[in-house]
Amino acid sequence: QKHLIRLSVLSSLSSILDTMPGATTGTVLISDPLNFWGGKRVKPMQEKNTEPVFEPATGKCCRLVRYMVPCGAEEVDEAIKSAHAAYLQWRKMAGMERARVMLEAARIIRERREKIAKLEVINNGKSITEALVDIDVAWQCIEYYAGLAGTLAGQHIQLPGGSFAYTRREPLGVCVGIGAWNYPFQIASWKSAPALACGNAMVFKPSPMTPVTAVILAEIYKEAGVPDGLFCVVQGGADTGTLLCQHPKVAKVSFTGSVPTGKKVMEMSAKGVKQVTLELGGKSPLLIFKDCELENAVKGALMANFLTQGEVCCNGTRVYVQREIMPQFLEKVVKRTKAIPVGDPLLDGTRMGALISKPHLEKVLGFVSQAKKEGAKVLCGGEPIVPSDPNLKGGYFMAPCVLDNCRDDMTCVKEEIFGPVMSVLPFDTEEEVIGRANNTTFGLASGVFTRDISRAHRVAENLEAGTCFINNYNISPVEVPFGGYKMSGFGRENGQVTIEYYSQLKTVVVEMGDVDSLF
Ligand SMILES: NC(=O)c1ccc[n+]([C@@H]2O[C@H](COP(=O)([O-])OP(=O)(O)OC[C@H]3O[C@@H](n4cnc5c(N)ncnc54)[C@H](O)[C@@H]3O)[C@@H](O)[C@H]2O)c1
Ligand SMILES: C[N+](C)(C)CCCC=O
C-alpha cells in the first residue's frame, strides 16, 4: 500500500503510521520538500548530487523520503538571509516574549511526541522506546531555555564621580547548527533552544542520512509563533556544511559529529573568526571497582554501551573491571546482553533497533573481526542478525557484543566504534586504572561504580573528561552541561552555562562628569 502525503499534515501522517502493525508494512512518501526557510518549505533549486535515504530497519529506500537533495550556495545564502531578517525582529523582543513562544513550541512537541518519535525511528532505526525519550528530552530542553530567556541580564558597575558602566547580554546573530545522525531531533533542539532563548536565529543542517525530523521542528517553531526564518533547515552533506561555515553572515557554528569533521569546521570558522562549539566523538572509560553494587554496575555497563545501537558519542565503551570481580561481572553482563530484544524498532518490546547504514554496520562488524585477530575473545554477539520478519531481512541489525581479553593497545579499545561493542579490561589499582583511562586523545565522558564515596569523588576529579557519571551512566538531564575535554571538543550544550556560548557581553560606559582629557 502506498500513500502519498504531505508531511506537514502530521495528523494524517500519524493516522497512516498508526494503521501500520509493524515497521515494514506500507509506504509513506513525503512529497513536500525538506528545506525550510522564510517560514515555509522550499523546493531544491535543482535536483543535483542527490543522495538516497535508506530505512535502517528494512535496508530499503526510506519509506518517508527517497532522496536527500543538497542545497547549493544560492540556497544557503537565501536561508541565511531569511534567518538574519528574522534575527533583527527576534532580538528586539523581551526574553519573556521569546519564552512564551518557546514554551508553546515545547507544548506542541509534547503533544505530538508519538508521531515525531515514529518518524525518527523510521529514519534512524533506533527503538521507539528510546525515540520517545529523545523527543521528551527535546521539548524539555526548549522548555528549560524558555525559562532562562527571561533571566538574561547584565551587570551594573559603579565608577568614580557617579559615573557607571553596565553590561548588556546580547545575541550573536545567525548561528549555524550542524548535526549528526544518531539523535536527529534532539540535536536540533539542543542547539536551537539556547540559541533562540538568547535572541539568535539558527540555520540547521541535519545529517544527510536523517533529513526528516529537523524540518518538523522548524514547522513547530513557526506554528508556535517565531518570526519567519528564525529557524531554517538546509539539507545537504559536507559541501553544504562548508558553505554554511564559510558564510560571512554567520556568527557562530555549533557542530556535532566526528573529530575529523570537527577539525575542518574549526579551521573554517577560524578563518572567519566565528565562535564555535564542537561536540565530537569519544572512547569513554567506565571504571567498576570491586566494592560496587554489582547488579547496578552491570546495568550501568549496558546503559553505557547499548543505547541507540551503541551509536552514542559519550558511551563508556572501555569497561575497566577490578580483577577480583571480573568473573561475576562477565557472567552477568553477558546474560543481560544476550537477552536484549533486537528487531523491529517500531515494536514496544524492542530494545535495540538497526544500525544507521549498511557501510556503518560493516565497519562495526569489521572492528569485531579486527578485535578477534588482535586476541580479544567474543563472549556474545558481534554478528549480523537477520530477523524472521521477511520485511526486515535487509535491515542493518547486529547482536550486541561483549569482548573479553582486551588490552589497552587493541584497536577496539583505542578507536571509537560507534556500534554495540563493549570492550572489557581488568585492572588492579585505582592509580593504575586512572592512568589507563586517561591515556586517550578523547575526553567526552567517564563513569565510576563504587560504594566508597571518597573514591568516587577522587576518581571523578582525576578523570580527564567533560562528564563523570557516579554509579550510573548516560544520564543527561537538560539542566546539566554536556560536552568534552581534549579532542572530544569544547563548549557545552545544556545547562545554564550554554547561555555563555550563544551570547556576548556589551559593556556600556557612562560618564556623568566632564571629560578629563590628557590632550
Ligand atoms: N559529542 C556529541 O555531542 C556528539 C553527539 C552525537 C554524535 N557525535 C559524534 O558524531 C560522529 C558520528 O556522526 P556523523 O557520522 O554524522 O559525523 P560526521 O562528522 O561525518 O558528520 C556530522 C555532520 O557534519 C556534516 N559535515 C561533513 N563534512 C563537513 C564539512 N566539511 N563541513 C561541514 N559539515 C560537514 C555532515 O553532513 C553531518 O551533518 C561520532 O564521532 C560521534 O561520536 C558527537
Ligand atoms: C542523551 N545521551 C544518551 C546522553 C546522548 C547524547 C548525545 C550523544 O550522542
Please give the Cα distance from 464 to 442 (Å, whole number).
Answer: 9
Q: How many CB atoms lie within 10 A of CB 265?
A: 24
Which of 326, 330, 348 lies closest to 338 in space, CA to CA?
A: 330
Residue 170: beta bridge partners? 504
Atom of ligand 1 nearest to the CA of 244: 33
Please give the Cα distance from 291 to 303 (Å, whole number).
Answer: 20
Q: How many CA atoms lie within 13 A of 504 on its CB side?
A: 10
Residue-wise DSSP of 171-223: E-SEEEEE--SSSHHHHHHHHHHHHHHTT-EEEEE--TT--SHHHHHHHHHHH
190-228 CB burial, b ≥16 within 10 A, e <16: bbbbbbbbbbbbbbbbbbbbbbbbbbbbbbbbbebebbb
Identify whether 279 is a catalytic site residue. yes
Looking at 55, 279, 311, 493, which residue is catalytic? Answer: 279
Give the angle 455-313-183 at the CA atoms, nearest 5°. Answer: 130
Residue positions counted in the chain: 519
Q: How many CB atoms lie within 10 A of CB 153?
A: 11
Please give the Cα distance from 495 to 488 (Å, whole number).
Answer: 18
Q: Which ligand is nearest to the CA of 317?
A: 1
| pTM of the model as a whole | 0.95
As a three-state string, the secondary structure of 447-478 is EEECCCHHHHHHHHHHCCCCEEEECCCCCCCC
Does residue 492 sit in helix, strand or coil? coil
Residue 107: beta bridge partners? none
Q: Would you write out the chain's pLDDT as a tens digit for each of its 519 residues?
A: 333 333 333 433 444 344 444 444 334 566 789 999 999 999 999 999 999 999 999 999 998 898 999 999 999 999 999 999 999 999 999 999 999 999 999 999 999 999 999 999 999 999 999 999 999 999 999 999 999 999 999 999 999 999 999 999 999 999 999 999 999 999 999 999 999 999 999 999 999 999 999 999 999 999 999 999 999 999 999 999 999 999 999 999 999 999 999 999 999 999 999 999 999 999 999 999 999 999 999 999 999 999 999 999 999 999 999 999 999 999 999 999 999 999 999 999 999 999 999 999 999 999 999 999 999 999 999 999 999 999 999 999 999 999 999 999 999 999 999 999 999 999 999 999 999 999 999 999 999 999 999 999 999 999 999 999 999 999 999 999 999 999 999 999 999 999 999 999 999 999 999 999 999
Tell me 226's DSSP state.
P
**Where does residue 409 rank: exposed (0-12), middle (13-18), buried (19+ CB within 10 A)?**
exposed
- Assess contact for 472 and 303: CB atoms under 8 A: yes
Q: Give, for 505, the enclosing helix (H) or strand (E).
A: strand 503-510
**Where does residue 271 rank: exposed (0-12), middle (13-18), buried (19+ CB within 10 A)?**
exposed
208 in contact with ligand 1, CB cutoff 6 A: yes
Output Rg (C-alpha) for the chain, integer angstroms.
24
Residues 6 or more apart whose CB falls under 8 angstroms from that of 408 comprise 414, 425, 436, 439
Give the angle 371-374-379 at the CA atoms, nearest 5°. Answer: 45
Tell me 126's DSSP state.
-
72-93 CB burial, b ≥16 within 10 A, e <16: beebbebbbbbbbbbbeebbeb
313 in contact with ligand 2, CB cutoff 6 A: yes
* Residue owning the nearest CA to atom 1 of ligand 2: 476
User: What is the interface pTM, i.e. ipTM, of the complex?
Assistant: 0.96
Output the pLDDT for position 28: 55
**What are 144's three cell numbers?**
528549560
CA of 256 to the centre of ligand 1 (A): 5
Q: Which ligand is nearest to the CA of 469?
A: 2
Output the pLDDT for position 16: 39
Output the pLDDT for position 32: 83
Q: Which ligand is nearest to the CA of 51?
A: 1
Q: How many CB atoms lie within 10 A of CB 487?
A: 18
* Residue owning the nearest CA to atom 6 of ligand 1: 313
Please give the Cα distance from 347 to 140 (Å, whole number).
Answer: 25
182 in contact with ligand 1, CB cutoff 6 A: yes
